[in-house]
Chain A
Amino acid sequence: GAVVSQHPSRVICKSGTSVKIECRSLDFQATTMFWYRQFPKKSLMLMATSNEGSKATYEQGVEKDKFLINHASLTLSTLTVTSAHPEDSSFYICSAPRGDSYEKLFFGSGTQLSVL
């Protein structure tokens, strides 16, 4: 099956620093990737849709200047949490649909971000 690799799996940073999270599709090309945020014992909240070669589409209420998304190639999307604060601490997950139908999502293993 398709594999999506997400790195790092866990990061601890100081308040005010920026953190970059990478999401790679290993055996398929992904023109679109999705970034989610998940709080403990809660569902996934879609933050933004990353589009290869164009600007990301952000969901309502998500600060685009806070969560920078870059999708520079067909296999890599990055999410940068800029000037992180403790309230940004969360579990971030990426996913990518394979094929034209977008019917099945393949997920990365997630990144646990802790901002001190």
Chain B
Amino acid sequence: SQQGEEDPQALSIQEGENATMNCSYKTSINNLQWYRQNSGRGLVHLILIRSNEREKHSGRLRVTLDTSKKSSSLLITASRAADTASYFCATASGTYKYIFGTGTRLKVLA
């Protein structure tokens, strides 16, 4: 069953602006990951945050995790047109099977 719900479903911003997308999940997790998918392609791993972490940074990416609210957010700062893609959260709880969220389609306008 699909576990993660992401919002917004679609987001359109101007280049240089920040993009924030959120992910909510239902059960306890070991870690939460964010992936990026360009249209018609496979997914690329962006960042992983463990259940005992609250915030993590990687370049222009900032991820937060609130296990009490069962939610995570991905912030992309100073967005670029090349950031246009779909972004998915994925959660694992106890097993190695990852459940993917519904995704946010980000469009960055040049």
B82 on interface, CB distance cutoff 8 Å: no
Within 8 Å by CB of B33, from A42, A45, A49, A104, lies: A104
The total of chain B residues at the interface (CB under 8 A) is 24
Task: Provide the bound-state CA to CA distance between A18 and B89, in Å.
Answer: 33
Task: Provide the bound-state CA to CA distance between A62 and B105, in Å.
Answer: 27
| A43-B88, A45-B2 known; A6-B42 Cβ under 8 A | yes
The total of chain A residues at the interface (CB under 8 A) is 26
Are A105 and B101 in contact, with the CB atoms below 8 A? no
Q: Which residues of A contact B40 (CB under 8 A)?
A: 91, 110, 112
B81 on interface, CB distance cutoff 8 Å: no
Q: Which residues of B contact A106 (CB under 8 A)?
A: 45
Task: Provide the bound-state CA to CA distance between A114 and B39, in Å.
Answer: 17
Within 8 Å by CB of B88, from A34, A44, A108, lies: A44
CB nearest neighbor in B for A41 = B105
| 7 A-B pairs (CB sep. < 8 Å) | A4-B42, A42-B103, A93-B43, A107-B35, A107-B42, A107-B44, A109-B41
